[in-house]
Structure 1
Amino acid sequence: MAAPAWSQSEDEGFSSQNEQETSSREDSEDSESSLHDALYLKMTELVEFLLLKYHAKQPTTKAEMLSRVIKEHQDHFPEIFSLASEFMQLIFGIDVKEVDPSNLTYVLVTTLGLTYDGMVSNGQSMPNTGLLVMLLRLILAEGDCAPEENVWEALNVMGVHDGKEHWIYGEPRELLTKVWVQEEYLEYQQVPNSDPARYQFLWGSRAHAETTKSKVLETFLRDYRRDPNFVSYLSEEAMSDEEEGA
Structure 2
Amino acid sequence: MTERKRLSNSQISSQSKRPSSSFVAQEEDEDAMLTQPSTSQVQKGLEKLSPAQVDQKTAEVVQYILVKDQKKVPIRRADLVKNIVKDYRTVYPEIIKRASRIFEQVFGLKLVEIDPKNHLYILVNNLDTPPSNPSPVEHPSNPKTGLLFVILGVIFMKGGVVRDKLVWNILKKLRVDSGLKHDEFGDVRKLVTDEFVRQRYLEYNRVAHTEPVEYEFRWGQRADMEVSKAKILEFMAELHDQDPRSWTQQYKEANPTHTSSQASSSSHR
Pick the structure with more helix per residue.
1
Q: Same fold (TM over 0.5)?
A: no
Return the index of the structure with the highest Cα Rg.
1
- Bucket of the pairwise TM-score, normalised by the shorter protein: 0.3 to 0.5
Q: TM-score, normalised by structure 1?
A: 0.45
